[in-house]
Amino acid sequence: MPRSRKALRCKQKQMEQKQFQAESKKLMDMMIHSIYTHKEIFLRELISNASDAMDKLAYLSVTDGSMNVNRADLKITITRNKDEGILTVSDNGIGMNKEEMEENLGTICKSGSLGFKQAMEKNEDIDIIGQFGVGFYSAFMVASSVTVISKKWGEETGWKWTSDGADGYTIEPCDRAENGTDVIMTLKADTEEEKYSQYLDEYEIRNLVKKYSDYIRYPIVMEVEKSRQKEGCPADKPEYETYTEMETLNSMVPIWQRAKKDVTEEEYDTFYREKFYDFTEPLRVIHTSVEGAVSFKALLFVPGKAPYDFYSKDFKRGLQLYSSGVMIMENCEDLLPEHFRFVRGIVDSQDLSLNISREMLQHNRQLTVIARSIEKKIKSELKAMLENDREKYEEFYSAFGLQLKYGTVSEYGAHKESCQDLLLFYSHKQKKLISLKEYVEAMPEGQEKIYFAPGESKEHLAKLPQVELLSSKDYDTLLFTEEVDEFVPQTLNTYMEKPFCNVTTEDLGLQSEEEKKEAEEKAEEMKGFLTFVKESLGDQVKEVRLSQNLGSYPAAMVPEAGMSFEMEKYMKRVNPEFAYPVGRVLELNPEHETVKTLQRVMTEDPVLAKDYAQLLCCQAQLMAQLPLDDPFAYSELVCKLMK
């Protein structure tokens, strides 16, 4: 019998048919169809496994001087056979022998990478991506059958593992010239729902490598088609020909793995624009590296403007999460608190625990530690921008200040400590945006409260009687013009031990005990007059009272207690059926000539005095930006009094 036929028969005897050790076809189906959200993940998993195999070889070559391994020769090769529908991912890493094939491929959820890492756990320099061992089986999401050909470093025989992902697998000896592994996938036939042949397209593979595996530390190469001008063609009539050559698809070195001193501002800006598809430069780059119980590197960006959908439910917050250069999640929300949702960037850690697949992160202590560290770093950087680059911070604040306010009041103020120092409000006195800290530090001696006035515009609020009075005492007032503003002091209660005071609803606290006593005596003296005005106005107001807070104004309309008029407007916008209107109180300035005239007319002509009281009430409503119950009646009243 010819020698070659004897060898073939010998190999046939060695081929073994085996069942998967861990579970039945049902478990395999679950892994193939349920663990991964997107089928495209398979390529990321196989590339990561190949990277692991080369890491093992490189590491062992350092510890074993007899192994002659040139790290520069290590690479991952992707081969496409469109005619046969076959996609192959190859590496020249450590390879596997028969026992390792059975252990790592025949046992579902057995990870050779994890076992190697545990064996070498005393050496902190080893960095293996794979952690659980399910990644290889993702190939069956796109392949009807998978063949693995592998030869371990230093051994004579290669081994071939074949399975259709159903009941079991075969394993037999084979020839492979060099150490390493080939994962050969016969892709499934296209269906109406899924086009499996796309994974043989050059463009699609380029995209997947760029998206998930761009920062694998070894070259990922593939033969690609290119075009060039034929030699000898006339310049006016060029002819072109198509040719193929091997090309590296990945960049290999992540920018965040480089030292900050080695990265230029232009490189940061270019990376940000290309990675996050933004045409504007970032306002702040945060490049940090943390070593400790959990080690990670982060490259974060504060955008120059808000995306068009930033304040909509469609906006996706979160950071891109990598494990040793392999992208795990596109938007990891757990790494970024809601109040800093505008930040974009990347976090890379080799310490994360992985649950079943790289896509399903276990919400564990490590992730929480990283998130807290990132939150503190973002706050620190924003605070530094506020203190050292005010112009740029105000540019940031115009885009994202509203988000900081929402973050302050959300979850009953759970995150106020992270946000309160970053807030800016318009100062009536300084005519610009200031922080709460700047307000308190500028308070003159004797001022004990942080005064604020809510309303629709700065121009209107600046003319409020209470604001005028405070200004006369050199006290500043923060002008709140956004709906969320009024919730901020309710959430904070105090800032730097100073209480907040809404000038439209609360006592300004400007009167001494003696002045309060005089005011009470004045109110008692004018009790009959106040009763007359209240009866003249009827149900239009809940109360008529005197006030020492009106400055040069004769009257003002203020809310009864608690809720301000602006809050009432907000509640009605949120809920048109809001049924708890704020009671209106007419405050009168007893020192104003108009009030004194009204008091005199009351005794001379009570009918005319009622018209004057009505006119004063309508004017107070207009000053408070409240709608008149009957504008036509007001117009007729004005015309009547002008006769």
Confidence of residue 103 (pLDDT cuts 50, 70, 90): confident
Give the bridge partners for 178, in sequence order: none
pLDDT for res 357? 45
Q: How far is CA 207 from the centre of its chain?
A: 24
Lowest mean pLDDT, pick from 5-9, 14-18, 92-96, 374-378: 5-9
Predicted local confidence at residue 131, as pLDDT: 39
Q: Is residue 326 within 8 Å of 359, Cβ to Cβ?
A: no
Q: At what angle do helices 202-212 and 41-63 cross, to 10 degrees?
A: 60
Give CA–CA dist 407/73, Å, rounded. 51
Whole-number pLDDT of residue 548: 86
Would you say residue 594 has pLDDT above 90?
yes
* Inter-residue contact 448 to 485 (CB < 8 Å): no
pLDDT at 30: 62
Q: Which tokens in the block code for residue 165?
A: 């992902």
Residue 458 pLDDT > 80: yes
User: Binning pLDDT at 50, 70 and 90, where does residue 135 land?
Assistant: confident
For 56, the 3-state DSSP assignment is helix
> Mean of the per-residue pLDDT values for the chain?
86
How confident is the model at residue 129, as a pLDDT?
A: 39
- Helices marked H in 23-111: 25-30, 41-63, 98-104
For 274, phi then psi, to 5°, come to: -75, -35
> CA–CA separation, 362 vs 625, rounded Å?
54
Q: State what percent of residues in the chain have pLDDT above 90.
A: 56
Q: How confident is the model at residue 116 (pLDDT cuts 50, 70, 90)?
A: very low
pTM for the predicted model, two decimal places = 0.74
Q: How sure is the predictor about 1, in pLDDT bands with cuts at 50, 70 and 90?
A: very low
User: Is residue 549 over pLDDT 90?
Assistant: no
Rounded Cα distance between 553 and 589, Å, is: 7
Specify the 3-state DSSP secondary structure of 326.
strand
The two three-digit tokens of residue 118, written as one number: 């545990």
